[in-house]
A and B are shown apart, each in its own frame.
Chain A
Amino acid sequence: MNKRITAAVLAALMTVLMTVPAFAYEERVFDDAGLLSEDEITQINEEIDTIRSTYDCDVVVVTTNDSEGKTAMEYADDYYDDNGFGIGAERDGIILTINMDIREYWMSTCGQAILWFSDSEIESMKSTVQSYLSDGSYGDGVLAWLGDVSYELEYDDGSGYIIEESNPFADALGIVPMALLIGLILAVILIIVLIRICRTAVTPAQAGDYLQKDAITIKKREDLFLRSHTTSVKIESDTSSSGGGGSSAHTSSSGSSHGGGGGKF
């Protein structure tokens, strides 16, 4: 071994170390509000890179002081759509925006990622993020969020589904058969009553009008217990599981579908 070889190997290694990150790190952290330190940005970028290559899910982190008059959700959706983020035809990915001017944050999912992160998972991710952001620990918050993202991707069972956006007019149709049935019963009762009003030529079935109330004698009262019979039925308890794997989605200004959630901090 001589120094030349060592130098060449080192140079090659340097090249790899220098170029690979430069090649792999497409820029995914946009700290416009300057909330993150250099170290944190590097750490976040590394983490995002791992997630991207492992799960084919794009991850973007944005901080801003100017929400351009949009809500946090609109800002996140548009930022993701306008910059063409996402992996694959459906632009799978998730974006976290921290909007300092309105003190809101939002995580927006797109493509298959809408299914990967269900509503309940988004809720739990929100509670993780929110506590850090409220304390001003933005870097730690983003890193914790990335931890959640990789966790959810790792343990996704592919059973996600889109919760159809509710349409009151369509949903209310479900009540029509029941309402018709009630209407039928009401109509039958009312028609019978109305017909009986018109048909009053009916002989009384009893002769109670002519009973001498003071001439009734009860001679014998006998209540004989015969037997008893007991039956039992097992009560079926409801075993409906909680923790729905459904995700609700909305359409952004660019026309693409997004899921996700967020809140104030």
Chain B
Amino acid sequence: MDVVNYQCPNCDAPLKFSSKSQQWDCEFCGSSFKLEDLKGQEAKGEGTVTGGEYDAAENEWREDELKGMKVYSCEQCGGEIIADEMTSASFCPYCGNTAIFSKQFEGAYRPESVIPFKMDKKQAKEAYQKFCKGKWLIPRDFTSANKIDEVTGVYVPFWLYDCEADSDITFHATKIKTWRQGDYEYTKTDYYAVRRSGNMAFTQVPADGSTKMDDDLMGALEPFQYQDMTDFSTAYLSGYLAEKYDQGAEDVKPRVDTRMRNSAVGVLQDTVRGYSSVNVAQNVTNLNYGKTRYVLLPVWMLASKYKDKDYMFAMNGQTGKMVGNLPISVPRAVATFFGIMGGTALIGYIGAVILFLLGGM
């Protein structure tokens, strides 16, 4: 028998074929269907994705701009950095290697907009010191002996997507009531299929277009304040490095898709009220992308080495938000864990002794 996955026309739950009744049964709402009821049912996927192609035609480099630009390439990691004529890069901001060479700038789209740096190098260093403070599990010698090896201001390429989401979401929901009557406790569970559909619009959802930059690190820097965004000019690059995107608009879109689908569920689920439990049974969200922008966003990259391991931290060059994964001292974590466990047991024991002593008087 062919495995065909039909969905219940009433509640969208998956149907099971019963060989006994030769019908399709819904385990959720208890209905049964014949094949002719189900025929013509479209297979429902996650939803469609349309639009969002980047139109580069409106953003061409001007001759004079190209002349004033150099590209540094790292021998070790292959990373490429753009800098203006006046700014010389002495090390690679991705791997810290100093063996970098410059070559002729070529290719790549011209960024449409840029958010200029608002935070300077000093503020980045201060923010990092603060960032390390008060975090119990960091190894002591990391904070005391730790020096930030490199602090680099980098304009990171981001793709910004406008998108409309058209969602049709089915939830399985229950209302549970319990009461006592005589010697029995009764639990009544009412099952509901709740359906919500709606439209919503997202503007300028960002995703970084650099394989060199850790996606999680860049994602954690959000949000950027777009009201400070201005038209791109090479003048902004002075004193900073910039990166050429190496992931196109289409490459990073799936990351944005997922985030918007999750948000759509959240928006529609907010309207499902008064139930004891609500679970998503099916989420069909069609994404219709609008304009896609290619922009540069300001990021301070801070590189640090601890016990031969590289640690990268990033600060939002506009808002000063600092993110990154700090090393965790395993002995400290273990000591803390057992300290808390033992401490709680000891406090509980002493408390119990005191209670017994007071009770026994």
Contacts and interface: CB of A to CB of B under 8 A. Distances in A.
Interface in B244-282: 255-256, 258-260, 262-263, 266-268, 271
Given A191-B333, A203-B220, A221 B196 contact: yes
A228 B360 CA distance: 53
A186 B216 CA distance: 29
Contact of B356 (A168, A201, A235): A168
B222 A204 contact: yes
Nearest to B313: A201
B200 interface: yes
Contacts of B326: 198-199
Contacts of A190: 336, 340
B186 A230 contact: yes
B349 A175 contact: yes
B78 interface: no
A172 B135 contact: no
Interface residues of A, number: 60
B325 A226 contact: no
Nearest to A214: B201
B187 A217 contact: no
B222 A209 contact: yes
Contacts of B123: none
Contact of B324 (A169, A200, A227): A200
Nearest to A166: B360
B344 interface: yes
A118 B4 CA distance: 75
Contacts, number: 223
A239 interface: no
A17 interface: no
Contacts of A226: 10-11, 28-30, 191-193
Q: Is the interface of B mostly helix, strand, loop or mixed?
A: mixed
A231 B189 CA distance: 8
Interface residues on B, range: 35 or more
Contacts of A208: 263, 266
B51 interface: no
B349 A210 contact: no
Contact of A198 (B135, B184, B218): B135
Interface of B: 10-11, 28-30, 135-138, 168, 173, 180, 183-205, 214-220, 222-223, 255-256, 258-260, 262-263, 266-268, 271, 314, 322-328, 333, 336-338, 340-353, 355-357, 360
The 9 closest A-B pairs by CB, nearest first: A203-B219, A179-B348, A183-B344, A168-B356, A172-B352, A226-B29, A183-B341, A207-B259, A215-B201
26 contacts: A166-B360, A168-B360, A172-B353, A173-B349, A179-B347, A187-B344, A194-B336, A198-B327, A200-B220, A201-B324, A204-B222, A205-B258, A207-B205, A209-B223, A211-B263, A212-B203, A217-B199, A222-B193, A226-B30, A227-B191, A228-B191, A229-B191, A230-B187, A235-B180, A235-B183, A235-B185
Interface of A: 166, 168-169, 171-176, 178-180, 182-184, 186-188, 190-191, 194-195, 197-212, 215-235, 237
Given A206-B266, A221-B271, A235-B184, 9 more contacts: A187-B340, A201-B214, A207-B263, A210-B204, A211-B263, A218-B271, A228-B191, A230-B187, A234-B183
